[in-house]
Chain A
Amino acid sequence: MICARTAENYRQNKWNKIAPGRFTLVSVSAAPPQSGTFEELAMPLFGQLYNFAHWLAQNREEAEDLVQETYVKALKGFGTFQPGTNFRAWMYRILRNTFLTSRSGKKAAQTIPLDEGEDGQAAAATTDSQTPEAILIDRNHQDLLQTALEELPLPFREVLLLCEVEEMSYQEIADSIAVPIGTVMSRLSRARAALRVSLQQKLRGT
């Protein structure tokens, strides 16, 4: 019962952030501004964009180049940004496209064996029974988790980060990585399953 309560609380916290109609106060304070100068809109995103860039590029130097290029491109193209649409998703899209056209981005995209459109749930279902091992994840296993995340194929890594770290809605993720919302859902499911498998292997190894 306590567990159910925890889950419910968690779910409701998340719900608060993404359902503007229901909890107006929360969502208003949490919603990023959608109009203003480029500087006003873009600078608050600096930390999280850098974090994401570092996860994509896997090293500081490249991450900085990536962020710099993103900001320069975005500033140049700010005229084409439609006020009222999702600025954060727009910035992430630019960052991601910049990465995918970079050398390491091309390499990362090449090495991914992905059967997109396949039933992701099937893969997820097979690992669901083993999830209790995830409970073992505590502070001691943070570095294990970080390694597991780093090793995830790029499409899995990015949807997981956007969902869990940036707490984006499925729609916002879809806008950021320019895929249909159904693809976001199946990719997330497969990403979680892959992460669990990887974690289990690592936990067994320790």
Chain B
Amino acid sequence: MACEPWQSQLDAYLDGELTAEHMRALDAHLRTCPACTADVLARVQLKRAIKTAGTRFTPSPEFRSKIHKRIAAKRPRMWSFGWATAAGLVVLLLAGWLMTSVEKQNLRQQHLYSELADLHVTTLASANPVDVVSSDRHTVKPWFQGKIPFTFNLPELQNSDFSLLGGRITYLGQAPGAELIYQIRKHQISVFLFPEDLVGLSTRSNITKERSFNVETWTQDGLRYVVFGDAAPEDLRNLATLLKAAARP
């Protein structure tokens, strides 16, 4: 009989493991062969019966939840992971906040220095750069009395290359201050003095450049000193040294 080659394939056929081509061929054969069809039917029934009989045991709910709890015990780790994430976020936020505030501070400094640059340039460009025209520190210092809320000492310049041109009242961030104009070899240098607590400038250890000007700044006796100009850094440092010495009692 022609059934012989098909017999061995019936199981694979019902298990869905034949290739599509073989499937079609076997389908065709089954339509013409009652014997094989009966065989297939018996196998189908056995398969179904085994499926029913084989699906027999179900775990108790208690056992299921016991195992579930056991493998879900990894959850606390997830929690600590969550905490770690939260902590990380807080750190990031703090760092971000710090950076923004540092950034803000920097911006404010930048802003103050550009204002100082403006003041310096405005003074030099003015037709009347100084309100008190004198090279005599004993004339200049008293002139400020009653005009600004502080007093200061100016250095003796006889043995130096600096000369005092005069002084004027100035304002920085609405704080009144003194601006003194010194000259060295045609370079004019502004020396600003403000009450320290009214001007939010921070001290820098070295001479820095602001908009191509050199700047030296420090605080002394509650005053903020800013030496500002296009002269060489050494000149600024020398002037600063003189000013610091003069301010010492």
Contact = CB atoms under 8 A, between A and B. Distances in A.
Interface string B32-75: 00100111111111110111111111110001101110111010
Given A46-B59, A188-B11, A196 B71 contact: no
Interface residues of B, number: 46
Interface stretch (B15-23, B89-97, B190-198): B15-23
Nearest to A147: B53
A165 B57 CA distance: 12
A47 B14 contact: no
Interface string A159-173: 011011101011000
A165 B16 contact: no
Contacts of A151: none
A137 interface: yes
B184 interface: no
A132 to B, nearest CB: 6
A6 to B, nearest CB: 6
B46 A128 contact: no
Interface residues of A, number: 61
A80 B30 CA distance: 46
B59 A1 contact: no
Given A7-B14, A128-B39, A161 B54 contact: yes
A72 B68 CA distance: 11
Contacts, number: 152
Nearest to A199: B46
A71 B52 contact: no
Contact of A68 (B51, B70, B74): B70
A145 B49 contact: yes
B46 A137 contact: yes
A8 B70 contact: no
A134 B43 contact: yes
A64 B59 contact: yes
B52 A160 contact: no
Contacts of B43: 131, 134, 192
Contacts of A19: 16
Given A39-B71, A128-B7, A7 B50 contact: no
A169 B18 CA distance: 11
Interface string B193-211: 0000000000000000000
A192 B11 CA distance: 9
B27 interface: yes
A50 B59 contact: yes
A146 interface: yes
For A4, A6, A7, which residue has the most chain B Cβ atoms within 10 angstroms? A7
B79 to A, nearest CB: 14
Contacts of A132: 38, 42
A7 B41 contact: yes
A145 B50 contact: yes
A75 interface: yes
B11 A137 contact: no
Contact of A145 (B39, B42, B53): B53
Contacts of B42: 131-132, 134-135
B231 to A, nearest CB: 70
B64 A46 contact: yes
Given A39-B71, A67-B67, 14 more contacts: A8-B27, A10-B44, A11-B13, A11-B23, A47-B58, A72-B71, A131-B42, A132-B42, A134-B49, A164-B47, A185-B17, A188-B15, A195-B46, A195-B50
Interface of B: 7-8, 11-17, 20, 23, 27, 30-31, 34, 37-47, 49-59, 63-64, 66-68, 70-72, 74
Interface of A: 1, 3-4, 6-8, 10-11, 14-15, 17-19, 22, 38-39, 42-43, 46-47, 50-51, 54-55, 60, 63-64, 67-68, 71-72, 75, 121, 124-125, 128, 131-132, 134-135, 137-138, 141-142, 145-146, 149, 160-161, 163-165, 167, 169-170, 185, 188-189, 192, 195-196
23 contacts: A7-B41, A39-B72, A50-B63, A51-B55, A54-B56, A67-B59, A68-B67, A71-B71, A121-B8, A134-B43, A137-B46, A137-B49, A141-B49, A142-B52, A165-B51, A165-B55, A170-B12, A170-B17, A185-B11, A185-B17, A192-B46, A195-B46, A196-B46
